[in-house]
Amino acid sequence: MIKAGWRSFAIYGFGLALCQPLAGCGSAENPAASTKDASASTKVAAIPADAPLVIAFGDSLYAGYQLGPKEGLAPQLQAALAADGTPARVQNAGVSGDTTAAGLQRLTFVLDNAKVKPALVLLGLGGNDMLRGIRPAETRANLDAMLAELKKRGIPVVLTGMMASPNMGSDYATAFNPIYPDLAAKYGASLYPFILDNVVTDKTLMLGDNVHPNAKGVGVIVEGLAPLVEDALPDAK
């Protein structure tokens, strides 16, 4: 995180601590319910029926909170991959408000009920833990357990990290921030260090709540994330 962005990130942390969005999940073709019209969205290219499955498993930053059906992380990532010549079916398994504990409870269900074995899982949880003041040791243990389950199933992972809001204090940040790079190294996962990098500090890329990215902000995230996904997909190697 760039030092100049700490003030905006503090605003983000305060807003997210107060935010209690509705849960939602779906696929890129059948995404979570939205409060916005997607009529202006770019048409998504047709995806081959045998395209690899990517499951985006996270919280509201994955779920597409208050975005149109084609504006969230899953549909924008799916479109970006197709445009780059790496078609994949990206399933939105984001649930707003999820903690790592909640994610751990539902991970097996999501994996067991996937139509095919996922070629890749994007894992992005922990922000709600941080803003609720949950002990970093618990967050680490829950993420570790999820990564262990994915490794046991032979599913590659791209881990999207979070950083502690400055208002949590330096001691908390010292314990929380290393979780993602440590676990990525332990499990050989690809790491996108901070999912809101270059987004949270720019109000033009955020919704009015200063908590969630708008469609343009998601596009910035996808621009940085897509190359990691392409490299992590087994068929792309």
The tally of domains found in the chain comes to 1
Structural domain that includes position 180 = 3-34+50-236
The model's pLDDT over 41-87, given as tens digits with 9 standing for 90+, comes to 445 568 898 999 999 999 999 999 989 999 999 999 999 999 999 99
Give the pLDDT score at 1. 38
Which of 59, 96, 165, 212 does the annotation list as catalytic?
Answer: 212
Do the domain assignments include residue 45? no
Q: Give the mean pLDDT of 153-160.
A: 98
Q: How far is CA 155 from the centre of its chain?
A: 17
User: Which range has highest mean pLDDT (19-33, 36-50, 156-170)?
Assistant: 156-170
Do the domain assignments include residue 228? yes
The model's pLDDT over 107-153, given as tens digits with 9 standing for 90+, comes to 999 999 999 999 999 999 999 999 899 999 999 999 999 999 999 99
Give the pLDDT score at 194. 97
Strand intervals (E) in the chain:
53-58, 89-94, 120-124, 157-160, 190-192
Domain CATH code at residue 11: 3.40.50.1110
Which of 27, 60, 96, 165 does the annotation list as catalytic?
Answer: 60
Give the pLDDT score at 213. 95
Q: How confident is the model at residue 236 (pLDDT cuts 50, 70, 90)?
A: low
Q: Which residue has the higher pLDDT, 109 or 237?
A: 109
Give the pLDDT score at 210. 82
Which conformational region is residue 116 in: left (phi greater than 0), alpha (psi within -120 to 50 degrees), or beta?
Answer: beta
Whether 39 is a known active-site residue: answer no
Whether 60 is a known active-site residue: answer yes
Residue 182: phi and psi, rounded to 5, are -60, -50
Do the domain assignments include residue 43? no
pLDDT greater than 60 at residue 7: no
Do the domain assignments include residue 153? yes
Do the domain assignments include residue 39? no
Q: What percent of the chain has pLDDT over 90?
A: 74
Whether 209 is a known active-site residue: answer yes
Q: Helical H runs in the chain? A: 6-18, 60-63, 73-83, 100-112, 127-131, 136-152, 170-176, 179-187, 215-232
CA dist., res. 31 & res. 20, Å (int): 20
- Burial label, 165 (beta-carbon count in 10 A; 0-12, 13-18, 19+): buried
